[in-house]
Amino acid sequence: MNAKKLNRYLLIAFVLGLTLAGWMVRYASKSFVASNDQLQSARQEVSNLETKRNDLLAAKTILNDKIFDVESLSKALPTDKDQARVLKELYAISEVANVTIESVEFPASTLGSQTVAKPSASTSTNDKSSTTQQKVISQATPVKDIPGVQSIQVSLGAISSRSLGGGQNGVRYPEMISFIKQLEHNIRTIQIRSIDISPVGAINGEPLYSINLTLNIFVRA
């Protein structure tokens, strides 16, 4: 074998080796990128699982805070469904917040009354002389999923600050917030169902608001 052929074989071997090395580098690079992508995907999945776990732990904490003994709650709630008692409680709250309540509305009902079904013309004498069924209609309605607890809906309107004079209507912002907070502090028996707030003017540069509330008053059945 002369030197010329040897150089040719060496050149071919070098080219093949270089090509093989390039292919191996490219393959290794692709494998590294794929492995890196898989690693990033795994990290993201772990992060998502940790987030879900934290959310579940937070939800569990909230549920634990909200869980209460229904029997104890029922015993703690008042049994009196009298409107006068409800009004007295609401007026006491308004005095603490330094506001007045001019409008209080209960749902139309015949609270505490009884209706007796009239016997039909075809009813026999024995049936007429028997005791007829009576039905009591009350403003209190059962609360879903809480046995033994009922709610009474109350609408409040024309709420004004006590310190306003000259027939001025409306409530100042601090007193409005105070009144709402006073109601929230009674959340064990009072729930704010809806609230409507709108500006009605100003006095001495201080804005006044009109506020209407719908409340649920909870009582024991």
Q: Tell me: pLDDT of 185 over 50.
A: yes
β partners of residue 73:
none
- Check whether 202 has a pLDDT greater than 60: yes
Backbone φ and ψ of 120, nearest 5°:
-80, 165
CA 164 to chain centre: 34
The answer, as to whether pTM is greater than 0.75, is no
Q: What is the pLDDT of residue 3?
A: 65
- Quick one: tokens of 8? 């040719």
Query: What number is the average pLDDT over the span 17-26?
Result: 74
pLDDT at 138: 57
Is residue 125 predicted with pLDDT exceeding 60? no
- Of the pLDDT bands very low, low, confident and very high (cuts 50, 70, 90), residue 99 is very high
Which stretch of 37-41, 49-53, 123-127, 146-150 has the lowest confidence by average pLDDT?
A: 123-127
pLDDT number for residue 132: 35
